Amino acid sequence: MTNVLITGAGGQIGTELRLMLCETYGNDHVIASDIRKSDTVDTLLDVTNARDIEHMIKENNINTIFHMAAVLSATGEKQPELAWQVNMNGLWNVLESARKCGVKKVFFPSSIAVFGPDVPRKNCPQNVSLHPTTLYGINKVSGELLSQYYYEKYGLDVRSIRYPGLISYKAMPGGGTTDYAVEIFYEAIKSQHYTCFVRKDTRLPMMYMSDAIRATIDIMNAERKNLTVQGAYNIAAMHFSAEELVSEIQKHIPQFTCEYSPDERQAYADSWPDSVEDSHARKDWSWQPEYDLAAMVSDMITQISHKMK
Ligand code: AKB
């Protein structure tokens, strides 16, 4: 019997992950926790409180944890102490509670933010030196290493993916650099105009949420012996510049216009690669994306237009 705990279940990924996990294991076997109450959250849990995590695991016989609670890149630069507390102490608490309580598997979300400006911009390889310049990126590199340490020292089966920017319509992202790629759809549909906080030539790796959820489930279901990457897997689906995203949206909403007013988030975006290489994920656990730019834009416009009616 799989009994799952999700932390950060009210967030952009957690919201959709919960739906998929409930479908797979049944509502009674999934505890969706977050620091804030919302429709997608069953119970309050602050990941900076180790005792509460342990209690939650024991009370519900949890054997699998998806630890999605995190402070993203832009908020992390504004509130570094909070980022450290949630991203580092939160992960420590989850791994330590999991180890003590005999949890079988933990998922830790890493990010393209682990890369710094010194990596190849195009098709950034799996194995490169990691010198991130954002605190969030530093947290994610440390998180990858800590997860690996728990696996090697204690045999705790921690699995991880380096998510690209994620695009979705069920829940809004919050506090990230790649948020423009979601906000733009709401403004395109509502007011046919968007002021984008990165330059038009800013190109980043991106992915539609349904692909990201499938990747998360697939890596957790993979045979451990097939996982050759210690740490977190690169996964890729699409990459585009802000200007290319605008052009694709204009195919559906011709009157849509966009102006560019870069703010401090431009520097975070500039420190990340344009695209990543994901052959390890494709080979080890058959990773394959379904959505490209055109399919993602078309679905986002359909879904958000429907939601806004
Ligand atoms: C962010 O922009 O901070 C996140 C990420 C790339 O991990 N979406």
Over residues 71-99, the pLDDT tens digits come to 999 999 999 999 999 999 999 999 999 99
CA of 60 to the centre of ligand 1 (A): 31
Q: What pLDDT band is residue 4 in, cutting at 50, 70 and 90?
A: very high
Instruction: Please give the Cα distance from 273 to 254 (Å, whole number).
Output: 30
Over residues 24-53, the pLDDT tens digits come to 999 999 999 999 999 889 999 999 999 999
Q: How much of the chain, in percent, has pLDDT values that exceed 70? A: 100
Over residues 61-70, the pLDDT tens digits come to 999 999 999 9
CB-based contacts of 292, cutoff 8 Å, min separation 6: 237, 238
CA of 73 to the centre of ligand 1 (A): 6
Q: What pLDDT band is residue 309 in, cutting at 50, 70 and 90?
A: confident
- Look at residue 281 in the predicted model and tell me its pLDDT: 98
**DSSP three-state, residue 79:** coil
Name the closest-CA residue to atom 1, ligand 1. Answer: 176
Instruction: Please give the Cα distance from 218 to 223 (Å, whole number).
Output: 10
CA of 302 to the centre of ligand 1 (A): 24
Beta strands in the chain (DSSP E): 4-7, 30-34, 43-44, 64-67, 105-111, 157-163, 165-167, 193-196, 203-208, 233-234, 238-241, 257-260
End-to-end CA distance of the chain: 41
**Residues labelled catalytic:** 136
CA of 100 to the centre of ligand 1 (A): 31
- Cα–Cα separations (whole angstroms), residue 19 to 16, 27, 48, 161, 178: 5, 9, 25, 20, 23
Atom of ligand 1 nearest to the CA of 163: 7
Of 211, 289, 217, the C-alpha closest to 24 is 217
Instruction: Please give the Cα distance from 220 to 285 (Å, whole number).
Output: 10
Are 229 and 161 within 8 A, CB to CB?
Answer: no
Over residues 165-212, the pLDDT tens digits come to 999 999 999 999 999 999 999 999 999 999 999 999 999 999 999 999
- Look at residue 262 in the predicted model and tell me its pLDDT: 98
Is the pTM value of this prediction over 0.90? yes
- Look at residue 13 in the predicted model and tell me its pLDDT: 98
Name the closest-CA residue to atom 6, ligand 1. Answer: 165
Instruction: Please give the Cα distance from 40 to 133 (Å, whole number).
Output: 33
Burial label for 120, CB within 10 Å (0-12, 13-18, 19+), is middle
DSSP string, 232-246: -EE---EEEEHHHHH
Atom of ligand 1 nearest to the CA of 178: 2
Written as six digits, the tokens of 139 are 């947290």
* Number of residues that make up the chain: 309
Name the closest-CA residue to atom 7, ligand 1. Answer: 111
Pocket of ligand 1 (CB under 6 A): 72-73, 111-113, 136, 163, 165, 176-178
CA of 96 to the centre of ligand 1 (A): 25
Atom of ligand 1 nearest to the CA of 272: 6
Instruction: Please give the Cα distance from 107 to 90 (Å, whole number).
Output: 13
Q: What pLDDT band is residue 230 in, cutting at 50, 70 and 90?
A: confident
Mean confidence (pLDDT) of the chain: 98
CA of 136 to the centre of ligand 1 (A): 9
Instruction: Please give the Cα distance from 47 to 142 (Å, whole number).
Output: 17
Mutating to test ligand 1, I would choose from 86, 138, 178, 204 the residue with most ligand atoms within 8 A of its C-beta, which is 178
Instruction: Please give the Cα distance from 128 to 118 (Å, whole number).
Output: 9
Atom of ligand 1 nearest to the CA of 134: 3
Atom of ligand 1 nearest to the CA of 111: 7
Are 9 and 21 within 8 A, CB to CB?
Answer: no
